[in-house]
Chain A
Amino acid sequence: MADKLDVQQGTLALMILRTLDVLGPLHGYGVARRIEETSKHRLTLNYGTLYPALLKLEQEGFIKAEWRQSENNRRAKYYTLTAAGRRQLAREARDWHRTADLIAAFLAPRRESP
């Protein structure tokens, strides 16, 4: 529990897009479980974090939502990546890699240590 992390601003959208890209159409519960599992439970998503993020992506046209029957016969709202969403994912992933490399380079241990 000690190393629980807050979801960093802006990263949640990327996680959601990536999840939908890998798993295909999925409901909110599924997205949350997947993110929690992928983060090895270092992240927990409460509804108040997840659903505004989903709505924002939907408003921006990156995902679309529809009500469907789930595998165990429940009605659930499924989210699907749109073509724009796929492009956005590629763009954000690229940006994120660059930023991560940059930060990593800065934080690398110094070469000539005393």
Chain B
Amino acid sequence: MRYLRAALARLAGFFTGSRGDADLRDELQAHLDMDIAENIRRGMSPEAARRQALMASGGLTQAAEAVRDRRGLPWVESVVADIRYALRALRHSPAFTLVVVITLALGIGANTAIFSVVRGVLLKPLPHHEGDRLVYLRHSMDGPGGAGIAFSVPEVRDFRTGAPSLAGIAEFSEWTMTFQDTDGAVRLRAGLVTGNYFEVMGLSPVLGRLTEPTDDGPGVPAVMVLTHDGWQKRFGGDSSVVGRQLRFDGKLVRVIGVLEPAPFFPGRAEALFNMVVSDHHISAFMVEGRTHRMTEMIARLAPGATLAQARREVATVSTRIQQEFKDAYDPASNHRIAVIPFQEVLGERARLTLWLLMGAAAFVMIISAANVANLTLMRGVRRQHELVVRAALGAGLARLRRLLLVENLLLAILGAAFGVLIAIGGVRLLTTFAERYSPRASEITLDGVVLGFTVALAAAVALVLSFLATLPREGGFASWILAGAQRVSGNLRKQRLQRALVVVQIAVSVVLLAGAGLLTRTMMRLSDVDTGLRTEEVLTMQVSLLTQTELLTNPAADASAKERYDRMREEIAALPGAVEVGIGSPVPLRSSDIRFEVKAEGKALAVGEAMPRAELRTANPEFFRAAGIPLLQGRPFTPTDRVGSGMVVVINQTLADKFFPTEDPIGKRIAWTGDVLRFTPISGDWRTVVGVAGNTQDGGLDAEPRPAVFMPFAQMLAISGGIVIRADSNVSALASAATRIVRRLAPTAPIENVMTVAQYKDQSVSPRRLNAALVSSFGILAVLIAAVGIAGVLAFSVSARTNEIGIRMSLGADGGRVQRMILREGGVLLALGLVLGVGGAFFTARVIRGLLFGIAPHDPATFIGVAVMMAAIGIGACWIPALRAARIDPAIAMRA
């Protein structure tokens, strides 16, 4: 109570300060007068009485100051004064201020921007209600394409009944739908979900309602929920879309609601449908086929259940069903199920890259802070005189510390402010970058937490800087005053600190440069990868004439689609410039979603060997020549390979090497196999190998080639038709004419991925390129700052040693000798930094091994190159101050 009252009185005093001053003056004056009067009464002369009274008072001004400290909030008042003073001081050294603010802005800006991405993509809690209770189940097996093979409906049922730790299991099936709009058709990335999906996921609508368990099963109306992305992209956020009937794959579907923004996994989705929209998904094939795996499982942990518990239960169920259904689980393929927190799985592709960038940004911060620390130390030495004067005038040690802190805080805040501006620019670029790695890229913002991080960073820098400055112990100012003016170079401790900072800067720069070098070489290696195609003058496009349902159930539609594809091929081939046009699916350099187990006649698997799987691809007779895929053996398809004639295939080299390592594969027979064929219109009949095609990089430039089987376009369903066009030169010029032909022949068919092979390749390289570019720019930034740092410290050392150098020169040292002396001083720092940096780089390279391709983490060429480059820049930076030292005129130096 009493303290509160006193505090309030002081707060009041803070605002009424000047009125109280007059009152106090009167009171003190009255006291003095009474004292003088008393002294006179005792018989002193007026003169002596006054002197005596003044001596006893202890000083009116000091008393008034003491009272004032007690009255208002002196701390606040003096801080305001400190800020004013600090601003003035910074204005008086604009060059220092500018360099420090820019350096800090770059460091803080880079860190803020990268941190905003790390937070948005990895750290921020999921928008889902209690999103930390969501787990993703990943079913994998050995062999190419065996990662994430999803679940079949019977399998989902097994986990529903056998794993009580999973309170609810939401099913999500990736699907592509053709959306018939008034102005044409587009293909939409969709998800087919069970009615419990939204409840399990903990998501709410922003408009309308979401699907419920009553929307499950056959015989219910088809409904859809737009995701927030889809709503914005396709309908411009128009709220009147809710309740409307839209045409998807020829069916009318009612929009019942719009979902709040949320990330999807494994695929993005623009709309979510109930299962009834796809006849296939409610067919017995899908519902009863244990190997018909099209469903992703996301589950919510039951209240009180732990992740470990869920993992145990899932493993138990998995073991049980593998024993019970031996046909469905090839023991050699090692079926396994991972239970992964949903948040973790959303960030899995981005994690390593983002922490790498965060680390690089942190390194830049270390370097820039070290540079600013050095600048501050040097300025501190020049300011000793000023600080001594201030101390002599009565400023206490605490007050001086506070003054420095306020000054550094101002610098840091200015740096942070510009840093945030840099970050605002960077975040947009980084969001496009992150989109390739994470479904959560849209959650990247400079929100309160990120800005809090920025402020904390700035405050930390300011604090460190303030405590680097040496102040003498309380009462030790006198010695300082004596020493201050002469020994400008500062004490030994401070010089050691400066040098240590330079060594750190160089070491960290080397690490960054090495990382940048490795990533750049990775990117270059990737660009150099041979796609397997003979030419890059190839344009591809994907035209879907059939919906997935028609494809699987309507042979008449399939036949007419094939005719139309053929007409498109003929008309496009007639275009001037077109050399060859082929039809096939998928287009080259795209991996096929259709993969089956495959066997060769007369070849038994070794014991414990996994059943080989191959991608199913289709090709018409012209496809290989149009795409530039070389035929290594045998022949391509011919027009005689059609329905009714002998069934033939072309296999790629990987599969040929696997099945027929020592024999001629031509004429041998292979067949699709496996339980899953039952659910497809594809037969397991023997097919004769007529040709072997070269491998192409369909799984990405950094992937191992996968086994592939080409089937004649005429002998297979017209799965998403790819058109491949080859030209002599400038194939992209054909794009618009070819698109017009397709449009005319198939007005409602969606046309996708109109891209040249060169563009595909670029698409595969560009995330790495941006990655390498970001780390490289951090590296270059670091080297520049470090170079300025080493040059600055040496220059300072030279100016501090001017006197000494003068003496040396007058004793006979010539310019060259002095220059060598200074160079040696810098060289020692440089060498130390290089050794530390190369050591650190070796360690760092191991950490980022997963991001490298075609290059060893300890690639000697990169390391040597980086070391040489850093050494060259470092020596260059030392040269300038060394030259200046050599030009010192001893006569002038010694007089100074």
A interface residues, Cβ below 8 angstroms from B: 27-29, 32-33, 44, 46-49, 51-52, 55-56, 58-61, 70, 72, 74-77
**Beyond known contacts A51-B66, A52-B66: 19 more, CB 8 A cutoff:** A29-B30, A29-B31, A46-B63, A47-B28, A47-B31, A47-B63, A51-B24, A51-B28, A52-B70, A55-B67, A55-B70, A56-B6, A59-B6, A61-B2, A61-B5, A74-B30, A76-B30, A76-B34, A77-B30
Q: List 16 A-B contacts (CB under 8 A).
A: A28-B27, A47-B58, A47-B62, A47-B63, A48-B59, A49-B58, A52-B66, A52-B67, A55-B67, A55-B71, A56-B6, A58-B9, A60-B2, A76-B30, A77-B23, A77-B30
A51 touching B63, Cβ below 8 Å: yes
**Which of A44, A55, A59 touches B56 (beta carbons < 8 Å)?**
A44
Most buried by B among A29, A47, A60: A47
A28 touching B31, Cβ below 8 Å: yes
Contact residues in B for A55 (Cβ distance below 8 Å): 67, 70-71
B599 within 8 A of A: no
**Which of B23, B58, B67, B71 touches A46 (beta carbons < 8 Å)?**
B58
Number of residues in B with C-beta < 8 Å to the partner? Answer: 30
B69 within 8 A of A: yes
Query: Bound complex: CA of A56 vs CA of B6, how far in Å?
Result: 8
The A-contacting residues of B in range 1-17, CB under 8 angstroms, are: 2, 5-6, 9-10
B306 within 8 A of A: no
A56 touching B34, Cβ below 8 Å: no
Query: Bound complex: CA of A20 vs CA of B890, how far in Å?
Result: 75
Kindly list the 3 A-B residue pairs having the minimum CB-CB distance in the complex, ordered from nearest: A46-B58, A47-B63, A59-B9
Query: Bound complex: CA of A27 vs CA of B37, how far in Å?
Result: 15
A62: nearest chain-B partner, CB-CB: B2
B interface residues, Cβ below 8 angstroms from A: 2, 5-6, 9-10, 23-24, 26-28, 30-31, 33-35, 37-38, 56-60, 62-63, 65-67, 69-71
Query: Bound complex: CA of A49 vs CA of B59, how far in Å?
Result: 11
Known: A46-B58, A47-B57, A48-B58. A59 touches B5 (CB 8 A): yes
B192 to chain A, nearest CB (A): 74
Query: Bound complex: CA of A59 vs CA of B350, how far in Å?
Result: 61
B66 touching A48, Cβ below 8 Å: yes
B9 touching A46, Cβ below 8 Å: no
A101 to chain B, nearest CB (A): 26
Query: Bound complex: CA of A47 vs CA of B30, how far in Å?
Result: 12
**Which of B10, B27, B34 touches A59 (beta carbons < 8 Å)?**
B10
**Which of A27, A46, A52, A59 touches B30 (beta carbons < 8 Å)?**
A27
B109 to chain A, nearest CB (A): 47
B69: nearest chain-A partner, CB-CB: A52
Contact residues in B for A59 (Cβ distance below 8 Å): 5-6, 9-10, 70
Most buried by B among A27, A33, A59: A59
Query: Bound complex: CA of A76 vs CA of B71, how far in Å?
Result: 20
Known: A47-B60, A48-B58. A74 touches B33 (CB 8 A): yes
A47: nearest chain-B partner, CB-CB: B63
A48 touching B62, Cβ below 8 Å: yes
B70: nearest chain-A partner, CB-CB: A52
Contact residues in A for B37 (Cβ distance below 8 Å): 72
Contact residues in A for B66 (Cβ distance below 8 Å): 48-49, 51-52
B6 touching A60, Cβ below 8 Å: yes
Contact residues in A for B63 (Cβ distance below 8 Å): 46-48, 51
Contact residues in B for A33 (Cβ distance below 8 Å): 38
A13 to chain B, nearest CB (A): 12
Contact residues in A for B34 (Cβ distance below 8 Å): 27, 29, 70, 74, 76
Contact residues in B for A51 (Cβ distance below 8 Å): 24, 27-28, 63, 66-67
Contact residues in A for B6 (Cβ distance below 8 Å): 56, 59-60
B151 to chain A, nearest CB (A): 74
Contact residues in A for B59 (Cβ distance below 8 Å): 46-48
A18 to chain B, nearest CB (A): 19
Contact residues in B for A75 (Cβ distance below 8 Å): 26, 30
A114 to chain B, nearest CB (A): 43
Query: Bound complex: CA of A47 vs CA of B65, how far in Å?
Result: 11
Query: Bound complex: CA of A74 vs CA of B57, how far in Å?
Result: 19
Query: Bound complex: CA of A18 vs CA of B748, how far in Å?
Result: 102
Contact residues in B for A72 (Cβ distance below 8 Å): 37
Query: Bound complex: CA of A34 vs CA of B373, how far in Å?
Result: 57
Query: Bound complex: CA of A32 vs CA of B32, how far in Å?
Result: 12
Query: Bound complex: CA of A54 vs CA of B464, how far in Å?
Result: 41
A46 touching B57, Cβ below 8 Å: yes
A42 to chain B, nearest CB (A): 15
Query: Bound complex: CA of A54 vs CA of B24, how far in Å?
Result: 12
